[in-house]
Structure 1
Amino acid sequence: MTALLTARDVCQRLREAALGVLMFNRSETPADTGLVAVDIEGWRLLLDFEGGRLHHCEQCRCPDGREWQFNSRYGTDPVNLLSTWELAQIENLLKL
């Protein structure tokens, strides 16, 4: 059985993108969903981004196939682990 990703694994990719260490590419998604697909060097994330604010990470899949899913009742959201500056950097990347 393959181990699942943790919120910290996903947060680390977001941090590295915020710092410019990893390439951050936004994919085109329907605007009415409020969800934005991004690729961070093979890590595919679906982010809840609406009104210029990043609310949470919905899901993530890394290149080796491991996954992380948002659970509003249990667990930690990777976005909540970001510093204020890191969150602002990711929001700026999402606005571009």
Structure 2
Amino acid sequence: MALIVAGKVYVAPQERDRFIEGHRELITQGRAHPGCLDLAISPDPVEPGRVNLVEYWESGEALDAWRAIAPAPSTSVRISDVQVLKHEVAKSGPPFD
């Protein structure tokens, strides 16, 4: 079953770009990992301290394998709040029919 890990984390607005940049290698390696369909960590266009996270995996096994070897982010930016959930995907299709 496919999985989506999605949500938001909050950091100090002046640290947001450094936080995202510190995840560049993790994103690059994650996207190349078997079973990763997508991985993105990006700035929110409305809230200055918000960072949006989306991971899309073919299976829980693929995600677990990645988590076992994933490099630590190269940043020490403090996270003030985390609101991220893992979702099991039962069905997928076009968003607009």
Q: TM-score, normalised by structure 1?
A: 0.29
Whose strand proportion is higher, 1 or 2? 2
